[in-house]
Amino acid sequence: MERLSQIAEVVVDRDTMIEMYHRMLLARAFEETVFDVYRRGWMPGLAHLADGQEAVPVGVCMALRPDDTITSTHRGHGHIIGKGGQVEPMMAEVMGKATGYCRGKGGEMHIADVKLGILGANGIVGGGIGIAAGSAFTAKREGKGRVSVAFFGDGAINQGIWYETANMAVLWKLPLIYVCENNQYTEYTNYRKLQAGEGLVARAEAMGMPGLEVDGNDVLAVYSATLEMVERARRGEGPSMLVCHTFRYGGHHVGDPGTKYRTKEEIEEWKAKDPIVRFEKVLVERGVLSPGDIEEMHSKVEKRLAAAVEAGRNAPYPDVSEVTEHVYA
Amino acid sequence: MERLSQIAEVVVDRDTMIEMYHRMLLARAFEETVFDVYRRGWMPGLAHLADGQEAVPVGVCMALRPDDTITSTHRGHGHIIGKGGQVEPMMAEVMGKATGYCRGKGGEMHIADVKLGILGANGIVGGGIGIAAGSAFTAKREGKGRVSVAFFGDGAINQGIWYETANMAVLWKLPLIYVCENNQYTEYTNYRKLQAGEGLVARAEAMGMPGLEVDGNDVLAVYSATLEMVERARRGEGPSMLVCHTFRYGGHHVGDPGTKYRTKEEIEEWKAKDPIVRFEKVLVERGVLSPGDIEEMHSKVEKRLAAAVEAGRNAPYPDVSEVTEHVYA
Amino acid sequence: MSTRELTFAQAIREALDEELARDPNLFILGEDVGAWGGVFRCTEGLYEKYGPDRVIDTPLSEEGFVGLAVGAAMTGMHPVPEIMFGDFITLAMDQIVNQAAKMRYMTGGQVKVPITFRATMGAGRSSGAQHSQSWHAWFAHVPGLKVVVPSTPYDAKGLLKTALREPNPVVFFEDKVMYAKIKGPVPEEEYTIPFGKADIKREGSDITLVALSRMVHPTLAAAEMLAKEGISAEVIDPRTLTPLDEETLIQSVCKTGGAVIVDEGYNRFGVTAELAAVIAYGAFDYLDAPVERLGAMDVPIPFSPPLEFTTIPDEQKIVERVHKVLEGRRR
Amino acid sequence: MSTRELTFAQAIREALDEELARDPNLFILGEDVGAWGGVFRCTEGLYEKYGPDRVIDTPLSEEGFVGLAVGAAMTGMHPVPEIMFGDFITLAMDQIVNQAAKMRYMTGGQVKVPITFRATMGAGRSSGAQHSQSWHAWFAHVPGLKVVVPSTPYDAKGLLKTALREPNPVVFFEDKVMYAKIKGPVPEEEYTIPFGKADIKREGSDITLVALSRMVHPTLAAAEMLAKEGISAEVIDPRTLTPLDEETLIQSVCKTGGAVIVDEGYNRFGVTAELAAVIAYGAFDYLDAPVERLGAMDVPIPFSPPLEFTTIPDEQKIVERVHKVLEGRRR
Ligand SMILES: Cc1ncc(C[n+]2csc(CCOP(=O)(O)OP(=O)(O)O)c2C)c(N)n1
Ligand SMILES: Cc1ncc(C[n+]2csc(CCOP(=O)(O)OP(=O)(O)O)c2C)c(N)n1
Ligand SMILES: [Mg+2]
Ligand SMILES: [Mg+2]
């Protein structure tokens, strides 16, 4: 089995680093804002937040071209922001408004921006995996070096569709990168209780594709590993699997404090490894951003989100006549 | 990953060897007879024969206790005979008669003898795998050391249910033995075109269970490997996976000569490794049977099958009133 | 008989609890049904009481764990797999339809397959198109399965206990909106409710309203509204779709001369079609107007509340349909 | 217009061939559809003609390859996954129902999902309970899908060509008994047939027989038998279930006053229910007797021929139902 090199950190230019940081901030702020929106009763239903996990979606997506595609999960806001999605139509979608990405029809779990290569979050755990394989199939046919990324969780890996598509992706050398975001838990159960065997890299390798595990709270590590896999895929050498270890700070959804099945210590331990704080240190150390720049970016992002909430609240619900639109093309 | 010892051939007593040989003969004769029955128009529908593969079902099942269970496939006659199934109700079932194992309701692809631990052949490729996992679950609960065997083909291995149950079987240490009968082809396609990666032992090991590949035309090798896996399972150490390389002489079903997608050479090559002829040599060399014994057994088996056909032909079809029976218990 | 008020979820939980105690072969499996107590709290405390071998947390492998359950049922256990959202039952269809439902028949009666699939249904929670569907019609279309769609805590407990004693595969649908919101009297004493017996939830003489699962509640509310207009509506809950108590439905319509069928599944090719067809056939000579079918709108269920509620039957829509029937009659 | 006789399978093959030639984004995938030419010969020669990238042999991974097809459709291709036996569609339900059918709606119209699922249906071949089922009713119950059930080579070709140009997911059911056995005229010239237009296969005035897929043929034979008794039967084939040409069905019954629905899917909660309900509603004032529903018996399909044929509608059973309607009318 061919091995990938062990995440030699690639050289990242200044602008890219700043944009990475910016998207991580947006992703964090988006989750915190949605939580607030939920508590105030400004959104219907529930939301699935991923604060704490920002390094994975941003690290992966920043390694992609605009025409590369991703499929996301029920916990998908970060992926969408990572790929360049805009928080305003996202927030409106969360609120079920006509100005939302999906005109309010999709909702929190189904945000998509197909023009940006975001083929949609998905409420079926593992549901994006087949779609990602299909996008990789199309990409191979197009022959333009485009790749496809499937994001999914440590729970989703046990869905048969991972295995079935892995087999085809290797057989047909599809430009597909499986990104397993191991945030340690499914809804309320630790992944170790549900995942047998030698680990996910071993599963990938048995299927004939290389795999790597990285510190999912280190955005540059995630970025570097993704780049290597992406380049491999663009060269026509087929799929690979990236396993990122990370943690969600909150509960499974906004109604779950997340403290019943996880200890305070575990949560604190992970918070001490916060991906944004860590990256800030790197940025300051390397002279990419000053503490003042960082503060300014924080406050810009906050203002942007406040405005997104305001705009979302003021936006109309879709007209009832829209209910029968878009069933068929 | 724990490894199993590499098929040290176990000592097999005389009676067991004779019974093995007997069942292999029965299995072969059953297939040849069904083919004849089909050609004469004495059975409805099609049949899926496994002549050439007899060492696998017999080698595996002879390593089992009567209370162990198996699940079988669309190509299941050998498994049923291997586990002690009787050719008379099998033949009647193939003909759709009321004296068949399933009163004619199941048919060629669905023969079962639950009292013998045969939980049924299955028309869904991979369909028996979940059931076998469930039987292993029950076995573990019963705590009597019973094990469960899932037979399936080189095509079936790519069904997600293998992967999903493998994960649970390892997690829960179920007494389950996966037996992949690699007869080189699915219906009309060589398995290499459909199976990516490092082989099935690697897949099993990645999931956390040991695996072994054996010469599937060597009944003693199959028997020995199975015994080791069975004993491991009885000790409560969990599942394992046996991969047996073998070949079906005929086509995918009785209507397919099997010569369009396979070369004459390939077929001849495998026929030169015929499991029955090979075992005969061993039996004679070891003085277990004389050539005369062998001839006698052949002719007994042939007579038995001729009688089974006769009985099947004379048996009545199920009464039409039975059509609504057995939908519910 | 002493009676308490239980929520729908509590009634389900109590049935599971009692049957786990009664039948050592019964076990529950599913995602977060164990230590967590189930995302809808239907298995709360059962893990602590019966242990991890009887209330089992599974990986996210619906096909796999349902398949395992089928095999366990065939070998003497009575598994109770939980499909957290009924929408995910799509992943386990083969095991339910091609394996569980057919094994007895295909083996000529050699095996029993005592298995109770619990699945949720129902929209109205802004959960989006993949967490709001009601697929009970699919399973009612499959020979070998029984399908239960209870509407009250009392019915839920009694019918679930029956399911858990059935030697056959049962698909038991629970509307998730009812779990916490619907409360009702449940006797302390043990009882079961037989399958195939509709329940007349309200007697009436002018029109028959047939509703099931959560739809019984807006239908009863509609009956209340109609009563104020002087229209006496009979509300019938079939409670099980297979077997279906055709007799009770037909008799009611023979008396009232008209019917509206209310269901939260999609209207087209759904439960409303079967019930309307059964009534139109059986009460042919007594119908004064066509049977009205009020299922969910035939669109993926939208997230945005104003859209979502448009798609689901409610009191107002039921009343409108009743008026339509009565106008039709006056022609 | 020059016309030849083609078998049903040849008509399917020709539609695939023409559309593969026309649309570079179209591709076929499934088990043994490539080098082997399909187990029912529907893709014979296409692998040789269009190559292994357009006619793709997949592993036995129905969920996986159908999922892959959905993603390919969302990114600009038009995949045509073949489900060899419609029974196996259970394994791909999630991809069809939760992904393909909903993606356009859930994204607020951002994507199109042009995908044509080809699946077989139909019993009568002694293939047993897991190789004989007809699940078209399930998909007709799912918003976002279109469902096609052609009965003749002509219709099959014209409707499949339409499906292959549709920007929406279509589930196209082919009765496998027809592949080799049913022959019929197919023009050399290109044509397509729009969805949602029923075809009157035979005109008549005394009773309406609605039948689809292979059932059209025994129904036409029954009409022939009835003609000899002096009963003039109109035979209507809806051809597509979604969209459904309700108008044509209702108009016919308004003229004849009675109907029998014939379908090879299970009777209960199936296609016969929807069509009967639609007719009972739309032709309420014109019906002289209840609509008769003749679906397959609600049992797993038995292997043994005398049992199997008992479960499937045939000429004789259709004629009996017509007599029943006409007697009902005389009351
Ligand atoms: C097929 C399916 N099964 C179950 C669920 C319910 N569910 C939603 S999220 C979740 C846990 C997913 O765990 P993981 O893949 O680790 O993702 P995470 O939530 O940790 O991001 C479950 C069981 C679902 N949405 N889809
Ligand atoms: C789920 C499913 N998909 C497809 C088929 C059709 N089919 C029957 S046998 C077969 C090939 C099976 O190959 P393998 O598992 O190697 O078993 P073998 O026939 O070689 O014994 C296929 C594709 C089926 N019966 N079930
Ligand atoms: Mg997780
Ligand atoms: Mg094979």
Closest Cβ opposite residue D87 in set C98, C106, C144: C98
Ligand 2 contacts CB of residue D84 (under 6 A): yes
The CA D60 to ligand 2 mean position distance, Å, reads 7
Query: What amino acid positions of C are annotated as catalytic residues?
Result: 62, 131
Task: Give B 194-253 residues with CB within 8 A of chain D.
Answer: 194-195
Q: What is the block-wise mean pLDDT of chain D (331 residues), using blocks of 10 residues?
A: 90 98 98 97 98 98 98 98 98 98 98 98 97 98 98 98 98 98 97 98 98 98 98 98 98 98 98 98 97 98 98 98 90 56
Name which residue sits closest to atom 17 of ligand 1, judged by CA.
Answer: A153
For ligand 1, atom 4: residue with the closest CA: A125
Ligand 2 atom with the shortest distance to the CA of B50: 21
Tell me the pLDDT band of C329, cut-offs 50, 70 and 90: confident
Q: CATH 3.40.50.920 occupies which residues in chain D? A: 199-330
User: Which backbone phi and psi does C76 adopt, to 5 degrees?
Assistant: 110, -5
Residue of D64, D77, D106 with shortest CB distance to A138: D77
Atom of ligand 2 nearest to the CA of B127: 1
Question: Cα(C174)–Cα(C10) distance, rounded to whole angstroms?
Answer: 12
Give pLDDT tens digits for C13-62: 999 999 999 999 999 999 999 999 999 999 999 999 999 999 999 999 99
Is A160 in contact with B164 (Cβ distance < 8 A)?
A: yes
Q: What pLDDT score does D328 carry?
A: 81
> In this model, does residue A4 exceed pLDDT 80?
no
CA distance D1 to C326: 54
Q: Tell which phi-psi region holds residue B45, choosing left (phi > 0), alpha (psi between -120 and 50) or beta.
A: left
Distance (Å, rounded) from C-alpha B251 to C-alpha B260?
9
Ligand 1: distance of its center to the CA of B25 in Å?
51
In chain B, what residues touch A196 (CB-CB under 8 Å)? 166-171, 207-208
Q: Atom 19 (ligand 1): residue with closest C-alpha?
A: A186
Exposure string for C301-330, b = 16+ CB within 10 A, e = fewer:
bbbbbbbbebbbbbbebbbebbbebbebee
Cβ of D305 within 8 Å of Cβ of B324? The answer is: no
Question: Does the C3-187 domain belong in CATH 3.40.50.300?
Answer: no
Tens digits of residue pLDDT in C48-63? 999 999 999 999 999 9
Pocket of ligand 1 from Cβ distances under 6 Å:
A 73-75, 123-125, 152-156, 183, 185-187; C 31, 60, 62, 84, 88, 91
Nearest CA in chain B to A169: B196
Across the interface, whether the CB atoms of A159 and B158 are under 8 A apart is answered no
Question: Which partners does chain A have (≥3 C-beta pairs < 8 Å)?
Answer: B, C, D
Provide the number of CB pairs (under 8 Å) joining chain A to chain B.
81
To the nearest whole percent, how much of chain C has pLDDT over 70? 99
Ligand 2 neighbourhood includes B153 CB (under 6 angstroms): yes
Residue of chain D minimizing CA distance to B153: D60
Locate A4 and state its tokens: 């990938």
CA angle, C289 then C292 then C294, to 5°: 170
List helix spans (H) across C164-304: 178-181, 216-228, 246-256, 271-282
Domains of chain A: 14-308 (3.40.50.970)
A194 C-alpha to center of ligand 2: Å? 29
Dump strand ranges (E) for chain B. 69-71, 148-153, 176-182, 211-215, 240-245
Q: pLDDT tens-digit profile of A79-113?
A: 999 999 999 999 999 999 999 999 999 999 999 99
Atom 5 in ligand 1: which residue has the minimum CA distance? A125
For chains B and C, CB pairs below 8 A equal: 145
Per-residue confidence band for C114, with pLDDT thresholds at 50, 70 and 90 = very high
How far does residue C113's CA lie from ligand 3's centre (Å)? 34
The predicted model gives A155-181 an average pLDDT of 98
Which protein residue's CA is at the shortest distance from atom 22 of ligand 1?
Answer: A187
User: Looking at residue A9, what is its pLDDT?
Assistant: 77
Q: How far is Cα D289 from Cα D323, in angstroms, rounded to an integer?
A: 11
Q: Indicate whether A309 pLDDT > 60.
A: yes
Please judge whether D127 and B261 are an interchain contact, meaning their C-beta atoms are less than 8 angstroms apart: no
The per-residue pLDDT for A5 is 62
C213-243 pLDDT per residue, tens: 999 999 999 999 999 999 999 999 999 999 9
**What is the mean pLDDT for each group of 10 consecutive residues in chain B (329 residues)?**
67 96 98 98 98 98 98 98 98 98 98 98 98 98 98 98 98 98 98 97 98 98 98 98 98 97 98 98 97 98 98 98 98
**CB atoms B96 and D303 under 8 Å:** yes
Contacting residues for B235 by C-beta, under 8 A, at least 6 apart: none
Strands D146-148 and D240-242: antiparallel
- How far off is chain D from C245, nearest CA to CA, in Å? 13
What ipTM was reported for this prediction? 0.98
Task: Give the model confidence (pLDDT) of D78-137 as tens digits.
Answer: 999 999 999 999 999 999 999 999 999 999 999 999 999 999 999 999 999 999 999 999
For the stretch B22-36, what's the b/e string if a residue is b when 16 or more beta carbons lie within 10 angstroms of its beta carbon? ebbbbbbbbbbbbee
Q: How far is B244 from chain D (nearest CA, A)?
A: 19
Q: Are A104 and C302 a contacting pair at CB < 8 A?
A: yes
Q: How far apart are CA A123 and CA A137, in angstroms?
A: 23
A101 near D CB under 8 A: yes
Nearest beta carbon to residue C60 from set A107, A156, A323:
A156
pLDDT in tens, A124-139: 999 999 999 999 999 9
Residue of C nearest to A262 (CA): C36
Note the pLDDT of residue B10.
Answer: 84
Residue whose CA is at the smallest distance from ligand 2 atom 17: B153
The pairing of beta strand C146-148 with beta strand C240-242: antiparallel
CATH number corresponding to C199-330: 3.40.50.920
Provide residues of A within 8 Å CB-CB of chain B: 1, 158-164, 166-171, 193-198, 202-203, 205-209
pTM of the model: 0.98
Ligand 2 test: best mutation among B31, B46, B72, B74, most atoms within 8 Å of CB?
Answer: B74
Q: Where in chain D is the domain with CATH 3.40.50.970?
A: 3-187
CA-nearest of D311, C102, D305, D299 to B100 is D305
User: Residue for token digits 């909106």?
Assistant: C177
d(Cα A125, Cα A158) in Å, to the nearest integer? 10
Whether the link from the prior residue into A291 is cis, omega within 30° of 0, is: no
E-strand ranges in chain D read: 3-7, 26-30, 55-57, 78-83, 116-121, 146-148, 170-175, 183-187, 199-202, 207-211, 233-237, 240-242, 259-266, 292-296
d(CA B53, CA B79): 10
In this model, does residue C331 exceed pLDDT 60? Answer: no
